[in-house]
Structure 1
């Protein structure tokens, strides 16, 4: 494809004085990593690719599920069951053949986060859980890679930009200790209107382009809060905390392993602690507490597990003690919360799969 075709592709944004040929060259030289190719990641990836970010990384270990499609607009019905990074890369490459797409078919952990983010100039956190958000933030802090972070809850969303300059607040200035997974529901638990992550992901892409092009009005050092129902937009200025465990005067967190939550829910088991990853061969009764709709989207092996949805509390509290039970859900959040409740009720034979099915996919 000719250079003329590439020039025409970007012609409408190149005529902006703030972009011009020089700005387009800056975009082509940029390396941006989007972590999470879901409701936030899809619009962010689409607009960054269309703008001409030269190297665009996509990091996600999940597969496309049918319940994703109402808000994750890069995917089609035929993509259900495919890895998100592969389906997303295919769509983006078809839309813009002038960029390089790098796929990372994995979820981040303490062992690989810093190595991954340090290869990029800018990171967009498009994940949907606290553990990932704190891990990504801390990795970017240590590598001094700017981070654009967004999150959604039902009809609300928020956005922060962290540049990690002296005198500016970091995430742990606001939350020195990572919140527990059950303090707020995920999209699967609390629900979400598809346009909300669409707006926030587009907003992330806009802030990314402002940073890459050095445009005015960059939003770092404040939290932006959006409420779709009231159309309210609030700006909360962030102040650095001198006692922050990460960036304060006497930091206690010096690496990602130290940054990880130290306290686990008693009775949670990691995949490597199980006798077998096959429900048919395991000594545990594998019990899927997800909804029937979620279960229907799963792979065939899930049929070898039992299904007792979270709503059926009577059946869950009546689990027979003759055999140890292993509760699981998508991410481990619902099963951990239920585990605490059942253990408090005296069911000592109940356990939960830490990290849920996502942890199994990562193995």
Structure 2
């Protein structure tokens, strides 16, 4: 399997040039629906960046036209459309399709899972890309990682969460396996696209919503319809997006265009995470300054979320061979990464945070 999408951006782009890629190759036109609205310049901006870079690298011969959520099809119908080749490709997140295959959650991220750095290492050097492409192959699709949001906040709540029982009866917007975890704590999960979250909170048909983080949440206006904002983001330490291509369309694509596409995904992905890291802090300051209540999960709540997560993972593994296979290898890689973090950079970061508090 190709791994160029996971190489450094500079190396990937330096390896190709527009004249070399375009010479002798045909004109190709693809449509790329996204699961995200144009208002989110981070995630939807990633789709636009992929399109722009591919066009430049192929001297305008390979054109991918992006469409925001709802313009071409419903935002959570991307995988079906790519599988049926009603479109050649799509920009989405794997965990939106856990109803089809729970193992697709690992393509994006699972509760108490990997950071963006750990996820990238698992994909590139830990066998993750081969595992996930094997899962997508069942849907006649080829997956290319194309960005990560970084750690996501715990979400917006219309009432305080002081103890585990406060989840009882809450109607929550949560994606992927998060829904099964919150169900164990008594909540009722709902999977809604970005554009539907604000009106659902405003009307009271939702009591809480987990989306991304301060920058995107501010753009969606979530602080105006829910007051309490919870962290840390233990339920999503990172969320990786994917560019998926119909399997036959990928096979028909000239090799040079594949290289351009993978390089474009790598570049867009690196820039996307940088945008979040740079923009989340000032956005959080604005949100809190406007009256939002920033709070931290009580430890008993995090303990309950962690316990419920392990139960969900074990239950899925017992009934789904594909899930069990991916989870076992994913878990082993994460355990090693956690060990390394405790020895080196993770320990260093904890010390640095401690010194900052003292100053």
What TM-score do the two structures reach when normalised by structure 1? Answer: 0.32
Higher relative contact order (CA 8 A, sep 6+): 2
Bigger proportion of residues as helix: 2
The structure with more radius of gyration: 1
